[in-house]
A and B are shown apart, each in its own frame.
Chain A
Amino acid sequence: DTEVTQTPKHLVMGMTNKKSLKCEQHMGHRAMYWYKQKAKKPPELMFVYSYEKLSINESVPSRFSPECPNSSLLNLHLHALQPEDSALYLCASSQFGGLLNIQYFGAGTRLSVL
C-alpha cells in the first residue's frame, strides 16, 4: 500500500475562518511534507517533518501552521488566509528524509479562499 490520503478533497473558506487539512499514511514513513501548487505551476515546498519534528520551514507565513501529532498523521492548520492562498495543497511522505527516498504524494486538497 503506497497510499497517502488527504482530506478534504475540496475546501472553501472565508478569510476569517479556521480550518485544517489532514494527511495520513500507513506506510511507516518517517518524513512528511506539505507542498503548495498554484494552477499551471510546479509544487512549492512549504514544510518538512522528519521523525515528527519540523525540519524545514520554507519561510511560510504564520497563517499556515503545521502539526505532526504522530508518525502517520500530518495536519495543516489554516487561519486568516488570503485569496491568493487559494491553491492545491499536496502532502507527501517518504521512508526517511533525504532525496534518495521516494516521495509518495496524495491527491491533494483544493482550497478556495473567498
Chain B
Amino acid sequence: AQSVTQLGSHVSVSEGALVLLRCNYSSSVPPYLFWYVQYPNQGLQLLLKYTSAATLVKGINGFEAEFKKSETSFHLTKPSAHMSDAAEYFCAVSRRSWMNRDDKIIFGKGTRLHILP
C-alpha cells in the first residue's frame, strides 16, 4: 500500500531563510507524488507534482522538490521564505488500485509552516 510520512507537524523559519519540509513515501510501484498547500479557510492548491519525468520538480511560488528514490524522499524546498508562505502543506502519493490504476491521492498528515519576522 502507498503512504507518505511528513516529518514535523510544525516547522518555523525566519523570513528570508530556507524552507525545507520533509516527506518520505512508501510505495511498491513507481509513485506519483504531490505537494499541496492550504491557506487558512481555503481549499487546497497544487504546488507541484512528480510523475516520473525529471527528478527535480519546479512548482509555483518558488517551491521545488526533488525525488530521491534511494532515500524514498520528496522534500519540498524554497530558497527564501516569505510571510505569505505561512500555511499548511500536504505531501501526497497516488494510490494504485487493484485494477492497476492510480485512482486516488493519499495525503500525509500535513506540516504547518510558520514564518518568523
The chain A residues found within 8 Å of chain B, CB to CB, are 4, 40-45, 48, 55-56, 58, 90, 92, 97-100, 102-103, 105-108
Classify the secondary structure of B's interface with A.
Answer: strand
Interface contact A90-B44, CB-CB below 8 Å: yes
With a cutoff of 8 Å between Cβ atoms, the chain B residues found around residue A102 in the complex are 46, 49
Cross-chain contact of B102 among A4, A56, A98, A105 (Cβ < 8 A): A98
Instruction: Judge whether B104 is part of the interface by a CB distance below 8 angstroms.
Output: yes
With a cutoff of 8 Å between Cβ atoms, the chain B residues found around residue A55 in the complex are 103
Whole-angstrom distance between the alpha carbons of A92 and B103 in the complex? 14
Minimum C-beta distance from B96 to chain A (A): 10
With a cutoff of 8 Å between Cβ atoms, the chain B residues found around residue A58 in the complex are 104
Which residue of B is nearest A58, CB measured? Answer: B104
